[in-house]
Amino acid sequence: AELEGHFDVAEELLDQAIASAEEEGEPLTKARAMLRKGAILESRGDVESARRILQDAERYALYCGADVLALDAAIERAEVEILHD
């Protein structure tokens, strides 16, 4: 139960970071926050949401030319696919 509370706080902070990055026009920051949120969603069992946000994180990272971050997002999404297929 205590860990779940930490996930709630982390998810709320990441949502704020994603919204702020969107407002400020910082797609790389948005991609980083989305990658982390995807990992939290997957650990909570929300596989479909995790897949979507990780795919979006990969797209934003590629848009920024952040190939390593895009690869991280792709790997995370592949792990979600493998673990939950």
pLDDT single digits (tens) 34-79:
999 999 999 889 999 999 999 999 999 999 999 999 999 999 999 9
pTM: 0.89
Which residues have CB under 8 Å from 72's CB, separation 6+?
35, 61
pLDDT band, residue 6 (cuts 50/70/90): confident
CA end-to-end distance (rounded Å), the chain: 27
Question: In Å, how far are 61, 71, 84 from 17, measured between CA atoms?
Answer: 16, 21, 27
CB 72 within 8 Å of CB 80: no
Gap between the Cα atoms of 48 and 40, Å rounded: 12
